């Protein structure tokens, strides 16, 4: 996902999932646990926080995004502003992809722009927490939804046809989220991006519906919940018309077995957990 011409050096893209946070910059990708740990020395983030957690679970938050609705988060007997913890997590993953970057005077990170990929169903208040956290780390902060970022990746990689409505089923740790993204035909840029910020609006993201169950059932094929509820529900979101394609996106920290997706009769096209990040990088690189 790099750019050999170096035109993306001013941008870092961070995908904040419920379990894993992914970041891209300078062609480098890091994947870290979305975790924070309070130690005697201070705060640890990401994989290092998970590694050092040990028995001190009272000072460990394994999924910081689950605390996004709280103004304060307790780690053991200490309390921290949640927005500051998110800032530390963003700073941590930024450092992992910032090899070779200079530090811009007056800024913590020296990146001109940070693109945040956030859960598509998050509202303004939740997005605002991450935007405030990122504000000290970049001159410009842009947020995009994980749902249509995944669609961007799937379309660019030929998994779905361009244009029309596509259903998206995202597997979260304890539920699924079903959405429909409506794509308007438009000219692609030479850089391969799909939506140019400030020129073309992102695609319409119709309301998300939460449901119980797994995208893939225990038998390995598209599960019973998918067959009897999730997939027909996508047609309901699309005015009673089945979407032109359906993709499944793993957001629970584990990948789908794509051979099992294929065994489900091609009702679902399974992506991988990096798909929203790749889609946002394409979007960010659009000149």
Displacement of CA 24 from its chain's centroid (Å): 12
Cα–Cα distance between 32 and 19 in angstroms, integer?
9
Cα–Cα distance between 178 and 242 in angstroms, integer?
13
Cα–Cα distance between 31 and 116 in angstroms, integer?
15
| Position with higher pLDDT, 9 vs 98 | 98
> What is the reported pTM?
0.83
Q: What is the pLDDT of residues 16-32, one digit of tens each?
A: 999 999 999 988 999 99
Q: What is the mean pLDDT of the chain?
A: 79
Task: Identify whether the C-beta of residue 48 lies closer than 8 Å to the C-beta of residue 86.
Answer: no
Task: Identify whether the C-beta of residue 213 lies closer than 8 Å to the C-beta of residue 176.
Answer: yes
Kindly give the interhelix angle for 124-135 and 82-96, rounded to the nearest 10 degrees: 60
Q: Is the per-residue pLDDT at 198 higher than 60? A: no
- For residue 280, CA distances in Å to 69, 98, 203 come to 24, 18, 13
Q: What is the pLDDT of residues 149-184, one digit of tens each?
A: 999 999 999 999 888 889 998 888 877 888 888 886
* DSSP character string of 105-173: TTSSS-EEEEEEEE-TT--HHHHHHHHHHHHTTEEEEEEEEHHHHHHHHHHHTTSS-SSEEEEEEEE-S
What is the predicted pLDDT for the residue at 221?
39
């Amino acid at each position: 996902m790099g750019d050999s011409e170096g035109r993306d050096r001013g941008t870092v893209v961070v995908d904040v999932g419920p379990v894993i946070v992914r970041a891209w910059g300078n062609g480098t990708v890091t994947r870290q646990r979305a975790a924070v740990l309070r130690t005697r020395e201070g705060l640890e983030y990401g994989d290092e926080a998970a590694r050092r957690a040990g028995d001190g679970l009272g000072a460990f938050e394994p999924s910081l995004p689950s605390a996004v609705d709280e103004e304060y988060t307790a780690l053991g007997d200490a309390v921290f502003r949640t927005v500051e913890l998110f800032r530390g997590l963003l700073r941590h993953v930024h450092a992992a992809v910032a090899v070779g970057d200079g530090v811009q005077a007056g800024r913590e990170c020296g990146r001109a722009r940070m693109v945040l990929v956030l859960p598509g169903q998050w509202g303004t208040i939740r997005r605002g927490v991450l935007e405030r956290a990122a504000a000290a780390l970049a001159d410009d902060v842009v947020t995009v939804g994980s749902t249509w970022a995944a669609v961007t990746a799937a379309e660019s990689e030929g998994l779905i046809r361009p244009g029309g409505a596509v259903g998206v089923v995202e597997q979260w740790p304890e539920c699924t989220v079903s959405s429909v993204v409506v794509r308007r035909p438009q000219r692609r840029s030479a850089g391969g991006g799909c939506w140019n910020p400030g020129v073309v609006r992102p695609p319409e993201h119709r309301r998300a519906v939460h449901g119980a169950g797994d995208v893939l059932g225990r038998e390995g094929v598209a599960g019973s919940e998918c067959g009897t509820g999730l997939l027909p529900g996508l047609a309901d979101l699309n005015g009673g018309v089945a979407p032109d394609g359906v993709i499944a996106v793993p957001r629970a920290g584990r990948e789908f077995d794509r051979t099992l997706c294929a065994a489900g009769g091609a009702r679902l096209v399974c992506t991988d957990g990096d798909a929203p990040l790749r889609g946002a990088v394409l979007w960010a690189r659009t000149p």
